[in-house]
Amino acid sequence: MSPVQSLIASHRQGRNVGLYSVCCSNELVLRAAMDVARRHDTLLLIEATSNQVDQFGGYTGMNPPQYRDYVLSLAREENFPVDRLVLGGDHLGPNAWQKRPAEEAMANARVLIEAYVAAGFHKIHLDCSMSCADDPTPLPDAVVAARSAELARIAESTAAAHGLAPPVYVIGTEVPVPGGEASLAGGLAVTTPQAAEQTLAIHRQAFCAPDLAAAWERVIAMVVQPGVDFDHSSVHDYDPAAARALTDFLERQPRIVFEAHSTDYQREQGLHELVRDHFAILKVGPAATFAYREALFALAAIEAELLPAERRSNLPQVLERCMLDNPRHWQQHYHGDERELHLLRLYALSDRCRYYWGEPALVAAVQRLFDNLSTHAPPAYLLSQYLPEQYRALRAGTLADTPQAWVRHRIGLCLDEYARACAANVAGLREHGARAAANG
């Protein structure tokens, strides 16, 4: 039983514990996530989405082995124990190729799954819900399940061929495209128990072949819509009463929990309530990079008070220029006049600017910002003005006096809420896993 399975089993046995998943490739976000996992003594689940990382590089430019090596190199630099690190793949299926014919898209999806599993990704979200170019819309549930089972079969054989622990699986999808950003103007519908039951039953049937029986026992979660999401400027907070029927449904099912996507920006109380109500896997992504951007802009404001224009990083302006020069990551998402578009590009909760931090001009601007504030240490009153939580931590002696540390701390405040909501420490999981092994 893997640590992830132990955690899910512990939840189903009545412990109010969960697993938070950091869906990101940003270096300082991942370093901050390691800080948080160490501080709370939790597992650290880091997931790559199918549009971030694929066999062709995705938008990060990394394939699965490269992403694995990147995360492991950060863990080594941070002295973070790799036995507490779990890699996952999110929305794995034909998502990136859905504008192509189904057979071509699924051929790519087969290679994608093999690449992820061979690289040691343990938690696999099988998502074949999207219609391809020659598919009906919506795609029938039976087709979704059959395609997911086909990919699971590849994952099983790949893990066996490479001598790896067999993966655990997540099925289903009742969420927007990867990254969230549903429009909340018309409200948000919670998945019905009937729809959840149908998804579960059809997938169970698709996995009934003898060679997939063991894989079905490792399906740990199902994605549903618990009534949480965000758009560019607002957040739909979790309402336990609206999800009560789903919670009751889950309690009648063996083994599995729900996985909640788009939990970014939820109040901490809502995160605790989600875990309590069996939404025991919480996904966070844009909220972490949003915190990163907030911290960098605060540093840029400090820099502007200290240095003349010609010596500054001018980070917000560089970000705006990168987004205008290459609008493909935001142009179809943001709408309005020029002033509205300017505000959305830099400040929207959907955080489409997260796609640009790897641009060379932005990498150089961030480094210049850090260098400037390392050379010209800001006075305490400026740090208090723009980064008050970090100022208090610095005064308490719990935070290093460097701009990089301040940014990591700001991100960590966001991720701390998830760790507290999930409240599962590694020692407890090991104890549970040992008991499970002893009991057969």
CA distance linking residue 54 with residue 305, whole number of Å = 43
Tokens representing residue 171 in the block: 């099925």
Q: Which residues contact 390 (CB under 8 A, 6 or more apart)?
A: 383, 399, 406, 409, 410
* pLDDT score of 370 more than 70: yes
What is the per-residue pLDDT across 130-183, written as a single tens digit (0 to 9) for each?
999 999 999 999 999 999 999 999 999 999 999 999 999 999 987 544 444 555
The SS3 assignment for 81 reads coil
Model pLDDT for residues 244-283, shown as the tens digit of each residue: 999 999 999 999 999 999 999 999 999 999 999 999 999 9
Would you state the pLDDT for residue 173?
85
pLDDT of residue 180: 46
pLDDT at position 179: 44
Rounded to the nearest integer, the mean pLDDT of the chain is 94
Angle between helices 403-422 and 27-40 (to 10 degrees): 50
Q: What pLDDT sits at residue 430? A: 59
pLDDT at 53: 98
For the stretch 314-369, pLDDT in tens is 999 999 999 999 999 999 999 999 999 999 999 999 999 999 999 999 999 999 99
The closest alpha carbon to 199, from 218, 171, 228, 167, belongs to 171
Residues 103-120 pLDDT 10s: 999 999 999 999 999 999
- pLDDT given at position 352: 97
**Confidence at 239, pLDDT banded by 50, 70, 90:** very high
Q: Which DSSP string corresponds to 115-167?
A: HHHHTT--EEEE---S--TTS-SSPPHHHHHHHHHHHHHHHHHHHHHTTPPPP
The DSSP-derived string for 5-62 is HHHHHHHHTT----EEEEE---HHHHHHHHHHHHHHT--EEEEEETTTB-TT-TTTTB
Contact between residue 200 and residue 252 where contact means Cβ atoms under 8 Å apart: no
pLDDT digits (tens, 9 = 90+) for 375-428: 999 999 999 999 999 999 999 999 999 999 999 999 999 999 999 999 866 655
d(CA 398, CA 23): 27
State the Cα angle at 91 between 72 and 422, rounded to 5°.
65
pLDDT one-digit tens code per residue, 76-89: 999 999 999 999 99
Cα separation, 84 vs 93, whole angstroms: 27
pLDDT of residue 390: 98
Q: Which residues contact 407 (CB under 8 A, 6 or more apart)?
A: 28, 32, 292, 295, 296, 299
> What domains sit in the chain, N to C, each tagged with a CATH number?
3-284+424-438 (3.20.20.70), 289-414 (1.10.400.20)
Identify the residue with better confidence: 434 or 374: 374
* 236: exposed, middle or buried (Cβ count in 10 Å: 0-12, 13-18, 19+): middle
Query: Does 439 have pLDDT greater than 90?
Result: no
Q: Taking the CB of residue 308, how many other CB atoms lie within 10 A of it?
A: 7
SS3 of residue 235 by DSSP: strand
Summarize pLDDT for 43-83 with one digit per residue, the tens. Answer: 999 999 999 999 999 999 999 999 999 999 999 999 999 99
Residue 432: the pLDDT is: 52
Q: Could you report the per-residue pLDDT of 194-231, keeping only the tens digit for each? A: 999 999 999 999 999 999 999 999 999 999 999 999 99
What does the pLDDT read at residue 178? Answer: 44
Provide the 3-class DSSP secondary structure of residue 263: coil
Burial label for 86, CB within 10 Å (0-12, 13-18, 19+), is buried
Query: What pLDDT shows up at residue 176?
Result: 46
Which H or E run contains 91?
strand 85-92
